[in-house]
Structure 1
Amino acid sequence: MRFLHTADWHIGKTLKGRDRLDEQYAVVGQIIEHARAQQVDAVLIAGDLYDSAAPTAKAQQLVVRALLALRDTGAKVIAIAGNHDNAATFDAYGPLLDAVDITLVGRVRPAEEGGVVSFDARSTGERVNVAVLPFLSQRYAVKAAQLVASTPAELSRDYDAMVREVIDALAASFTPDAVNVMMAHLTVVGGSFGGGERQAQSIFEYHVPAAAFPADAHYVALGHLHRRQTLPAPAPVVYSGSPFAVDFGEQDNTSVVCLVEASPTTPARITDLPITAGRRLRTVHGTVEQVVARADELADDYLRVYVQEPARAGLREEVTDALPGALEVRIDPEFAVATADRHPATDRRDRSPAELFADFCAARGVADERVQALFGQLHDEITGAGRE
């Protein structure tokens, strides 16, 4: 049987205040096309469908339409809540989506109550068991008394032990004549961050080792870390990564969905299918003149611009007028450090306030005569200089 593994859509995500819903429609559209072209038996979405626990109506409309479109390809659609999603809302709408053969799981549940989703693959008739483990918050995994009394190391061990217990309980429903898959939203020790994850819910007590997953699983479909990666383990433990870069920290990631082929008697074979929709995120360095000269090359990208010249009034506007996709414009930190190194501290005792302010600006890479003039005017107003 064949299925797609995807995760971390983060629908509704904005970037520096810029709405990206059109991009997200295009990205999800490519996922739907892959599902249709590959005639997959199932689509597994391993959490963080939304970027917020209170998504906008437009974001919810996109996700619902996407789930229905994936269902219309003939695939069994199974999605779980991630740490960005509202687990209670997922469970509230679960029965409604069940009516159209889409499985939405918000919170951890026993196997017999929907913790394991079983179905027959339409292409081969093979039995498939998918154990689902939505994001498990530490406050639900560890008793209140332990939260108060335990050390951080003990809390980490307790979270690990609790997740292992849940995994073992769900995996007990695996059968030897089926393709057995586990889908979870969590951090596995040794995984590399993609750049846009919520750190507080990814490190410290929020992790488990890859060995926590059963060796007899044909595939472990993970969400939470935004970089496509496979971790060493007895079973294939795979993060599909986010299908588009959610922040500049992810600009170098390769966006894919994973096509997985497996049978009850053969190991999983994984093929990465590219996702090319969405605007590219890029970080550029140079003077204003150098950056603006690349306007044609950079016109379709969202940009983080590090300017390598002294700050001055109107600098940002010069960049954004030529490059509307420049969402962040700042002085290059390396340039600022180099500038400060060229202006060591001097003896201040015999220097006027204007001279001291000029030294301060020079040390920070600020070169603007208008700023100096405004300082002089303010100084005169405060000290009364020049009054009759």
Structure 2
Amino acid sequence: MRILHTSDWHIGRTFHGTSTMDALAEVLGAVTVQVREHDVDVVLVAGDVFDSATPSGAAYTLLGDALVALHETGARVIVTSGNHDSAARLGFQARLLRDGIHVLTDPRAIGEPVTVADADGPVHFYGIPYLEPAIVRQHWPEATLRTQAQTMAHAMELVRDGMRQHAGRSVAIAHCFAAGVEATAGLEREVRQGGLDVVPLSVFDGPDYVALGHIHGRQQLSERVRYAGAPLHYSFGEQHKPRGSWLVELDADGFASAEWLDLPVPRRLVTLTGTLDEILSADNVVAHADDWVCAIYTDTLPQTEPMRRLRERYPHCAMVQHQPAATSAADVRSYSERLRTAATDTDRIEAFLEHVRAGHGPTEREAELIREVLDDAVRAEALV
């Protein structure tokens, strides 16, 4: 059996104020092509289908179009809810969907699999929606569910109970932050990296494959436990992470292989660092005029209207930051230390300018103006 593992579509998310709907529609169209080309039997979407608990009408339309297109390839589609989704809104029409499209959002049904058979027998798919302990503990009052780890461990016990009742191979689908995940800037916006939110890898023992969502970059925690990541780059912190999905194959004995399938990137993301003039150089413009650009300019002083100047050359410049290059002196001595050792008002002003300019003190002209102002102040005090 061939399974395509995707996650974190985030339909409706914007990228620095720009809609991503058209780009996502293009990428999901490429997913459909891959499903057909690789004779995929089951497509999994491991949570965060929408970016908001209250999706727009256009977001529902895009989801509907994507699910119908995938279904028309002949594949079964299994969708679970993530922390960005409203389980009620995502799952309200589950009973109305055509045969072969399954939306699993009810925590009380975790142990009840969706079963798909192939020549080697049945494969049971156990969908675990995102489980917020404070919300779902009402369903299992006998269990202690204070943390995400405890809650996911309980859910996986329900999965293993289901596995004991349903002979055959098994796949679990979940949405959480698992231990062993690389902590990068591409982590979810709301992920808290304290111990309470981390689910140990051992929790997922049992199924032949575990399809995880929640992390936006491709990650392999073990041969049979993986994250597929998001189909689009949703932040500059993700720009170097590939976009795609896992093509997982099960044979008669269980997990057989997993192959990464790259997806197209509608518009590349690039971070350009240097002085503003360097970033605006002709070579950079030729190479990146059509890219999403994050510009980090290192001039000592803030430049006038940097975003306007950047967008004249880079129409898709989404972000600009001023980060003056730090000097070794600024790295060694803290602002408070420089203030403590300042003997004069001139020293204090220079310390302040070094602090706010990442180690760069006043220019020669600024130093002259500082001396003039301080001399005028001294003369005024002498006349009082």
Compute the TM-score of the two structures, normalised by the length of structure 2. Answer: 0.81
Quickly say closer, same or farther: Cα 1:202–1:226, change in 2 above 3 A.
Answer: farther
How many aligned positions are there?
A: 351
CA distance in 2, matches of 1:320, 1:213: 48
Match of 1:250 in 2: 238
Match of 1:5 in 2: 5
Q: Aligned partner of 1:277: which letter? A: V
Quickly say closer, same or farther: Cα 1:110–1:56, change in 2 above 3 A.
Answer: closer
CA distance in 2, matches of 1:17, 1:59: 16
Which of these residues, 173, 176, 189, is aligned with residue 198 of structure 1?
189
Q: Aligned partner of 1:102: which letter? A: I
CA contact (8 A) 2:75 2:100 kept: no
Shift, 1:240, TM fit: 1.1
* Partner deviation per Cα, 1:270-308 (whole Å, 9 max, x = no partner): 000001232122211011221111111111211111101
CA distance in 1, matches of 2:110, 2:314: 53
CA distance in 2, matches of 1:37, 1:285: 40
CA contact (8 A) 1:218 1:268 kept: no
Match of 2:150 in 1: 161
Comparing 252-261 with 171-180, greater Cα deviation is found at 171-180
CA distance in 1, matches of 2:125, 2:52: 26
Match of 2:82 in 1: 82
* Partner deviation per Cα, 1:26-58 (whole Å, 9 max, x = no partner): 111111111111111110110011111122222
Match of 1:319 in 2: 310
Helix, strand or coil at the partner of 1:61: helix
1:118 aligns with 2:115: yes
Comparing 243-252 with 134-143, greater Cα deviation is found at 134-143
CA contact (8 A) 1:117 1:130 kept: yes
Quickly say closer, same or farther: Cα 1:266–1:255, change in 2 above 3 A.
Answer: same
Q: Aligned partner of 1:4: which letter? A: L
Quickly say closer, same or farther: Cα 1:64–1:357, change in 2 above 3 A.
Answer: farther
1:170 aligns with 2:159: yes
CA distance in 2, matches of 1:240, 1:14: 21
CA distance in 2, matches of 1:82, 1:210: 19
CA contact (8 A) 1:2 1:262 kept: yes
Q: Aligned partner of 2:209: which letter? A: Y
Which of these residues, 180, 185, 200, is aligned with residue 175 of structure 2?
185
CA distance in 2, matches of 1:316, 1:100: 51
CA contact (8 A) 2:247 2:260 kept: yes
* Partner deviation per Cα, 1:123-161 (whole Å, 9 max, x = no partner): x373120011010012124579x9xxx9xxx944xx433
C-alpha RMSD over aligned residues: 3.3
Shift, 1:101, TM fit: 2.7
* Partner deviation per Cα, 1:176-196 (whole Å, 9 max, x = no partner): 753311111111111124514
* Partner deviation per Cα, 1:327-356 (whole Å, 9 max, x = no partner): 1111125x266796799766554x7xxx99
Instruction: Name structure 2 gaps, 5 residues minimum.
Output: 367-384
Match of 1:306 in 2: 296
CA distance in 1, matches of 2:329, 2:233: 33
CA contact (8 A) 2:120 2:251 kept: no
1:282 aligns with 2:270: yes
1:235-384 alignment runs, 5 A limit: 236-293=224-281, 294-309=284-299, 310-332=301-323, 335=325, 349=345, 364-365=356-357
Q: Which runs of 4+ in 1 moved over 4 A?
A: 141-144, 336-349, 355-363, 365-368
Quickly say closer, same or farther: Cα 1:277–1:29, change in 2 above 3 A.
Answer: farther
Shift, 1:10, TM fit: 1.2
Q: Aligned partner of 2:106: which letter? A: R
Compute the TM-score of the two structures, normalised by the length of structure 1. Answer: 0.80
Match of 2:125 in 1: 130
Instruction: Name structure 1 gaps, 5 residues minimum.
Output: 372-388
Residue identity (%): 29
CA distance in 1, matches of 2:96, 2:63: 14
Match of 2:58 in 1: 58
Shift, 1:269, TM fit: 0.6
Q: Aligned partner of 2:179: which letter? A: V
CA contact (8 A) 2:24 2:231 kept: no
